[in-house]
Amino acid sequence: MGISARQKKLRKRKKRAKESGGGEEGGRWSLCSFCGELGDVESGFQAGGKPQYDSFLPRIASKLEVVRRLTRDSCREKILKQCPRCKPYFYYRTDYEYLAGGSEDEQFLTRLTGEEAEEYLAKGTG
């Protein structure tokens, strides 16, 4: 019985964290049981009427806490999120393209460095 891809990914991150001695890159978050399975960048794509092309963000992405909505009254979302356990920030954004044969929707989730998160926190809603 082999190990799953998720387990392999987590083991790789744990090894990288141990070798790096912690810090933001590959540090405490890589050991987090909540957000540790998320990569630095995750994305999802859905093509209306073409389910064979659909991909989705990992489920855990929807469980990150909303810290601040960075857009007002927009169907293209930009949201600052945070892991409730180990506290790194994530930038979540959506995009879409309206097509007569079926719209295309995209979602992106990016793990932020401390500096990047501070910039979004300072900006407020825009």
Tens of pLDDT, residue by residue over 31-83, are: 788 898 898 999 999 988 778 888 999 999 999 999 999 887 777 899 999 99
- Domain map (residue ranges) of the chain: 1-31, 37-123
The residue that leads in pLDDT, 31 or 108, is 108
The residue that leads in pLDDT, 21 or 113, is 113
Question: What pLDDT, on the 0 to 100 scale, is given for residue 5?
Answer: 58
Token pair listed for 101? 């044969």
Classify residue 43 as left (phi > 0), alpha (psi -120 to 50) or beta.
Answer: beta
pTM value is 0.73
Give residue 101's identity as a one-letter amino acid code. Answer: G
DSSP 3-state of 8? helix
12 band by pLDDT with thresholds 50, 70 and 90: low
What's the rounded Cα separation, in Å, for the pair 18 and 43? 27
The residue that leads in pLDDT, 19 or 118, is 118
What is the average pLDDT score of the chain?
79
Classify residue 97 as left (phi > 0), alpha (psi -120 to 50) or beta.
Answer: beta
